[in-house]
A and B are shown apart, each in its own frame.
Chain A
Amino acid sequence: MISEFTTQNKITADQLKDRLEAMACMAQKPFNKTRVSVAGALSSRLLKSEASRQAPQFVALGYWLRSAAIKRLRADFEARLTEGQVPTPRGLAFHLPPANVDTLFVYSWVLSYLAGNANIVRLPSDLPATTEWLLKTVIAVLEEADEQASNLFCQYDYRTDTNRTISAFTDLRLIWGGDEKVRQASGDPVRPDGLSIGFSDRKSHCIIKSDAYARLDNEERNQLAEQLYNDIFWFDQLGCGSPRTVIWVGDAKDHAQDLYKRLALHTEQKGYDVETGVVISKFAFANSKIASGTAQKGRAYSNQLSVLEAESDANILAEVHGGGMLWDVTVERLEDVLKLVDRHTQTLSHFGFEKKELMALAQAMVGKGGFRLVPVGSALSFEETWDGLPLLDQMTRRIVVRP
């Protein structure tokens, strides 16, 4: 038994199978007109809404979906096709978004929707009010375009067979939410020719060129602190892209402290709230890491921000602590950053490096790990290429035509 969102319609196991069979035939051409306009309509609704004022992540989503951005997404996608290739959707896509990152289900769904797939999205059992609002908005826009039949947003108990039933009809399954969730959810097989993609636990860092920071004036330093604040605190520092470490390249002198003071100040101004239990837990984390010799020094700049100084060593990433617990590391050269890069690395957000330095670093990362090098401030910005995978390409197949 599953319940369809908004209507709370109960769908029995038999009805579900019929529905899934029907949905399997509802795929459309990638970027068909109706679907592109649905994305546009959702964008304008988000950007105009009152709710977005309280939730900056909705503004980011609205901006990401605006017509010009979708046009560029499409152009990039089509540019990747070679002569004699006709893209076709996979069929039925099954999305298992994470419980806590409130806009991610829309990114996962909308890309697949634009790729032309029919979609089933399983939502967590307890939805925060803001997420519920977002979901209702998505469904309303779909209904206005008479597109709801091919998109099912639902909730169901994971302990039932529902996941197995849906998976058996699935051409493409996207599992978000870390290693454990991927392991559990991928136990149920998808169609024999289906594809299941797991988004596993990832860790991210921020790299700053010390010389470049030294050259910034007061205002520019505050701006950088503000960008870093967004990267770190938006998802309580527990997003896959949230920086755990600030790696200074070249002698950081007093600049590290200077930046952290600004960051702490900005965090306080933003009113980022941290519970006493989390503050004590960060204090305990710092004590434990220093007692064991993994970190050398620690400083609580405020209840929100604690910084641990350490040598560049993979040990510092063995355990992580969110909510404003930052590792501070200084390395001599950019390639020393690689010591902290492994298959669990996702994003290196950077400041002060030239394009050719970043390209060289990316070359050195080949085969090791790490999938994004983006400017500080956009660590959490969703992109079509995620965890190194061009998602639209995963969500479609190619018909090859050789005349």
Chain B
Amino acid sequence: MSFDTLFSQQPYGVTEPDKTPLMVDGLKELGEFHYQNCEPYRRVIDGLWHGRAAADNLADFPYLPVSLFKTNRMVSVPEGDLRITLTSSGTTGQAVSQILVDADTSMRQQKALASSLSHVLGPKRLPMLVLDTNSVFKDPALMSARGAGVLGIMRYGRNYVFALDEQLEPDFEAVDAFLEDLDGAPFFMFGFTFVVWMQFFEKFLDRGLDLSGGTLIHSGGWKKMIEHAVDAEVFRERFREKFNLSNIYNFYGMVEQIGSIFLEAPDGLLYPPNFTDVIIRDPHTWEPVPNGEEGVIQLLSLLPGSYPGHSLLTEDMGTIVAQDPDTHGWKGKGLRILGRVPKAELRGCSDVVGAKIA
């Protein structure tokens, strides 16, 4: 099976020419499986894609809009097999994605994540400093993306300590004790980019912490960070300067393809894991664009078995900056995220009524 073949390789270590045929085989299998087992998916394929759930070229596979998981219940296994429902974090009142996961898919997601993380953390579980509060876990059956994210990553650490208290305020004592106990041993940290910056970096700034033995992994997007004039480079630079921390890895991923994380390589680009690929599409023709050009990001992953999320059109813009550069062993497509697709409000004669009537 393609997933196993790809999975057995060095993480982030398969070149595009080697990866493509295996991805095509795996996606064919998944496409046909979902077509047979998920009625809403079959309707979409019949109604919009002439009934063809599979293709011979990577670029020819049908794709679903990510927001479909907000509006429709998409599931390809018997309801009784479902183990967990993952939801996206949304602002109040907005619809959230519902990702329905069974034991097999959950297992694959975990294996995938472990493989990606071990690439930067090494094979052994390390002591972990969670740059968040333990109150992010609410109802385990219906977890927020943040809670699920933290919990998902926590599997790969041990001796956890939370850097923030219930009110998201710094817990200086806990962090000091954590670092003391380490006695110089390597450790890792995880948090959401915005929380890491606002609640950890800013609040611990004057504590004189030495984090040189640590590795920081963070995710969650740069949208809010831009308002604080912080981009990936400033982020890295400031952490190096203030905390002597240089092992920092951002990642890009979404709950709809949880487990497939695009990790930031030393060149600053985001690389898909072996069983995941990315296509950039021209927003006018929807054809794939050559590397170097900007467009809408389509994500392909071999992980989603219990729901048809193997080929998704995102609402993010991006560009492939490098392919198989093989610097420090990173292979595949090097992606740069350029933000959300532009969307202005449509005119009309119904007023939007909010705090005031326009």
Interface residues of A (CB under 8 A from B): 96, 98-101, 104, 124-126, 157-159, 176-181, 184-185, 201, 235-240, 275-281, 283-284, 286-288, 290-293, 295-299, 303, 322-323
Contacts and interface: CB of A to CB of B under 8 A. Distances in A.
Interface of B: 40-41, 43-44, 46-48, 64-65, 67-68, 71-72, 74, 283-284, 296, 313, 315, 317, 340-344, 346-353, 355-358
A158 B357 contact: yes
B65 A283 contact: yes
A280 B296 contact: yes
Contacts of A124: 358
A125 B358 contact: yes
A274 B61 CA distance: 25
Contact of B40 (A158, A238, A292): A292
Contact of B348 (A100, A296, A297, A303): A100
Contacts of B283: 276, 279, 303
A238 B348 contact: yes
Contact of A177 (B48, B313, B349): B349
A112 B65 CA distance: 48
A293 B296 CA distance: 27
Contact of B43 (A98, A104, A237, A290): A290
B313 A283 contact: yes
Contact of B349 (A100, A283, A290, A323): A100
A280 B340 CA distance: 12
Contacts of B349: 98, 100-101, 104, 176-178, 235, 238-240
A54 to B, nearest CB: 16
Nearest to B71: A288
Contact of A291 (B41, B351, B353): B41
Contact of B44 (A98, A101, A238, A290): A290
B315 A280 contact: yes
Contacts of B344: 275, 277-278
Contact of A181 (B296, B341, B357): B357
Q: Which 4 A-B pairs have the closest CB atoms?
A: A277-B343, A238-B348, A178-B350, A177-B351
B343 A276 contact: yes
Nearest to B72: A291
Contacts of B65: 280, 283-284, 287
A65 B65 CA distance: 47
B44 A287 contact: yes
A389 B73 CA distance: 44
A275 B342 contact: yes
A299 B71 CA distance: 20
B68 A291 contact: yes
A124 B353 CA distance: 12
A152 B254 CA distance: 53
Given A158-B356, A235-B349, A291 B40 contact: yes
Contact of A295 (B47, B72, B351): B47
B337 to A, nearest CB: 15
